[in-house]
Structure 1
Amino acid sequence: MNHYETRQRRLIESLKDNGVNGALLLSPANIFYYTGFLSNPHERFMGLAIIPETRHAILFVPALDHEAASGAAAVDQIIPIQDDQLPMQAVKEVIQGLHGPIGIEPKALNYERYVGLTSTFPDACVMDIEELIGKQRLSKSADEVRAIREAIRIIELVMDEGIRKVKPGMTEAELTAELEYLMRMHGADGPSFSTIVLSGEKAALPHGSPGARKITAGDFLLIDMGVVKDGYCSDITRTFVIGEPTEEQQRIYNIVRRSNEAGIEASRAGVPLCGIDSASRKVIEDEGYGKFFNNRVGHGVGIEVHEAPSVHAKNEIPAEPGNVFTIEPGIYIPGYAGVRIEDIVHLTEDGHAEVLTSFPKDLRIIGH
Structure 2
Amino acid sequence: MNTKWNQLEQQMSAHGIDTLLITDPKHVYYLTGFLSNPHERFLGAVMVRGEEPFLVVPALDEEAARASSQVQRIFTHSDTDNPYRILKEALKGSPGVIGLEKNHLSVARYETLEAELGFKEARNIGDWLQNMRMIKTEEEVHKMKHAVKLIEKVLQQGLSRVQVGVTENELVAEIEYQIRKLGADGPSFDSMVLSGEKTALPHGVPGSRKIQAGDLLMFDIGVYAAGYASDITRTFAVHQLSDELTAIYNAVLAANEAAIAAIKPGVSFGQIDRAARNVIAEAGYGEYFLHRLGHGLGIDVHEYPSVHGANEDLLQAGNVFTVEPGIYVPGKGGVRIEDDVLVTEQGVSILTTFPKTLSIIG
Smaller-chain TM-score range?
Answer: over 0.9
- Is 1:356 aligned to 2:351, yes or no? yes
Cα deviation for residue 241 of structure 1 reads 1.1
AA of the residue aligned to 1:79: F
Task: Classify the secondary structure of the residue corresponding to 1:357.
Answer: coil
Task: Classify the secondary structure of the residue corresponding to 1:93.
Answer: helix
AA of the residue aligned to 1:342: E
- Is 1:21 aligned to 2:18, yes or no? yes
Separation in 1 of the partners of 2:127 and 2:119?
24
Cα deviation for residue 118 of structure 1 reads 1.3
**Equivalent position to 2:331, from 335, 338, 347:** 335
Q: Conserved in 1, the CA contact under 8 Å of 2:168 and 2:208?
A: yes
**Equivalent position to 2:293, from 291, 297, 313:** 297
Percent identity of equivalent pairs: 47
Q: Conserved in 2, the CA contact under 8 Å of 1:320 and 1:351?
A: no
AA of the residue aligned to 1:177: A
Note the residue ranges of structure 2 that are not aligned, 5 or more in a row: none
Matching residue of 1:84: 80
**Equivalent position to 2:168, from 148, 164, 172:** 172
Matching residue of 2:262: 266
- Is 1:161 aligned to 2:157, yes or no? yes
Separation in 2 of the partners of 1:191 and 1:15?
36
Matching residue of 1:150: 146
Matching residue of 1:53: 50
Separation in 1 of the partners of 2:240 and 2:119?
69
Q: Conserved in 1, the CA contact under 8 Å of 2:98 and 2:119?
A: no
TM normalised by structure 2 equals 0.97
Separation in 2 of the partners of 1:96 and 1:337?
62
Q: Conserved in 1, the CA contact under 8 Å of 2:249 and 2:358?
A: yes
Q: Conserved in 1, the CA contact under 8 Å of 2:66 and 2:72?
A: no
Cα deviation for residue 355 of structure 1 reads 0.7
AA of the residue aligned to 1:366: I
Task: Classify the secondary structure of the residue corresponding to 2:174.
Answer: helix
Separation in 1 of the partners of 2:322 and 2:192?
16
Q: Which moved more, 1:115-124 or 1:135-144?
A: 115-124
Separation in 1 of the partners of 2:192 and 2:61?
32
Q: Conserved in 2, the CA contact under 8 Å of 1:118 and 1:125?
A: no
AA of the residue aligned to 2:141: V
Matching residue of 2:28: 31
Matching residue of 2:196: 200
Cα deviation for residue 351 of structure 1 reads 4.2
Q: Cα deviations across residues 181-210 of structure 1 (Å, max 9, x unaligned)?
A: 111221111111111111112111212221
Q: Conserved in 2, the CA contact under 8 Å of 1:267 and 1:353?
A: yes
Separation in 1 of the partners of 2:25 and 2:309?
30
Separation in 1 of the partners of 2:119 and 2:299?
34
Separation in 1 of the partners of 2:82 and 2:108?
12
- Is 1:233 aligned to 2:229, yes or no? yes
AA of the residue aligned to 1:217: A
Matching residue of 1:8: 5
- Is 1:366 aligned to 2:361, yes or no? yes
Q: Which moved more, 1:12-21 or 1:319-328?
A: 12-21
AA of the residue aligned to 2:106: N
Matching residue of 2:71: 75
Q: Conserved in 2, the CA contact under 8 Å of 1:118 and 1:124?
A: no
Matching residue of 1:103: 99
**Equivalent position to 1:137, from 133, 138, 142:** 133
Task: Classify the secondary structure of the residue corresponding to 2:68.
Answer: coil
Q: Which moved more, 1:19-28 or 1:242-251?
A: 19-28
Root-mean-square deviation (Å): 1.4
AA of the residue aligned to 1:30: H
Q: Conserved in 1, the CA contact under 8 Å of 2:97 and 2:119?
A: no
- Is 1:256 aligned to 2:256, yes or no? no
Q: Conserved in 2, the CA contact under 8 Å of 1:258 and 1:283?
A: yes
Aligned length: 362
Cα deviation for residue 298 of structure 1 reads 0.8
Note the residue ranges of structure 1 that are not aligned, 5 or more in a row: none
Q: Cα deviations across residues 113-159 of structure 1 (Å, max 9, x unaligned)?
A: 11111112333322111111122111111111111111111111111
AA of the residue aligned to 1:159: L
Task: Classify the secondary structure of the residue corresponding to 1:71.
Answer: helix
